[in-house]
Amino acid sequence: MNSIIRFFLLGSLLLPSNLAAQSLEQRDHIMSQTYRAAKRSIDDAMDRFWPELDSYEAAIMGTVEISVDRYDWNLYGVRAVRRGSERSIHFPMGFLIANLYVVWGMAANELAGHDKDLGLDYIHEISDVVKRSVRATNAGQRPPPMPSYGEFVRMSEAEWRRLATSEQYMLYVEAMMGDGLAFILAHEIGHHVQGHLDGPASSLQEELSADNYAVGLSINSGFNPILAFTPFLLFAAIENDTGVYDGTSTHPPGLCRVVMMLRSGSDAALREEGFMEYLTENNLRDEWFESQAELAALPDEHGMDCPESRTR
């Protein structure tokens, strides 16, 4: 079984509410399994990136330590770090677990034919529950349970089981998780190889540049940014992106980054030989463009003015 699928299956055991019910020995065992599965998934993406790096980029990345911190429940703490000659990319477990549920939810939302706004509501719920779980754990209290998408939309148990065990659902989940994690990794690589860590602080333009770098590296490595949107919907929920972007943040709004990836990924997919024929033969052409149009309209619907990227 693909390591990313193993990561998904382990993720359902790793919510703070479930961890609270485990003995210390059991928790350590589960966390160790998840750490290895997540690291393997990241290593798989890195293996596909190496052939696409030029000699300078490869020399830089040869000095970078990529780590997964199983005791860090930060939701928004994926980061590239440079301290002197030491370089690293850090993935907190909190982000990885929350992103698992976002992937599960968006895959189910798509297959069930539900409105995209319902999927976004679920992502906000996941973000809120994880934050409340961390506060409860820190206070020595029992964390709240994490709802599945089926529970959130009140599907019957039989209906949810049918959807969540389908082959199509698992394919959606594997693709979304693999490409999403790869894009996040590529973004952090972009910070290292473009010299963004040499200055005192990051800037909006550096974040836009790292996003564009990640698009190129992901596409060249066989990933598609269209499938990488779930982490940024999570970031949007964390940021509570509901107002007009005012240009003061060092990161573009999550919803704007979703649109950027959809456009880039769509262009890449449409350039692939036989892709349009596949959509037409399987009566998916209209669904393909309608689905992307819905997501692309989200910033306007939330009154957001997305910043423009100026690539090198």
Q: Which amino acid is at 267?
A: D
The residues, ordered by sequence, that sit 6+ positions from 230 with a Cβ below 8 Å of its Cβ are: 99, 102, 103, 106, 176, 177, 180
3-state helix, strand, coil in the chain (%, to 5): 65, 5, 30
The arithmetic mean of pLDDT across residues 283-304, rounded, is: 78
Quote the tokens at residue 145.
Answer: 């349970």
Tell me the CA distances in angstroms from 233 to 29, 102, 125, 184, one per residue in order.
Answer: 31, 8, 12, 13
* Phi then psi dihedrals of residue 89, to 5 deg: -130, 130
261: closest CA among 312, 200, 306, 202?
306
Residue 137 has pLDDT above 50, yes or no: yes
C-alpha distances (whole Å) from 305 to each of 198, 259, 297 are 29, 12, 12
pLDDT, one tens digit per residue, over 256-274 is 888 888 888 888 887 888 8
Query: Using 50, 70 and 90 to split pLDDT, how confident is the model at 242?
Result: very low
pTM of the model: 0.82
Higher-confidence position of 75 and 63: 63
* Residue 114, number of CB atoms within 10 A of its CB: 16
Model pLDDT, residue 255: 78
Q: What is the Cα–Cα distance from 52 to 60, expressed in whole angstroms?
A: 14
The torsion angle over the Cα atoms of residues 79, 241, 201 and 212, rounded to 10 degrees, is 70
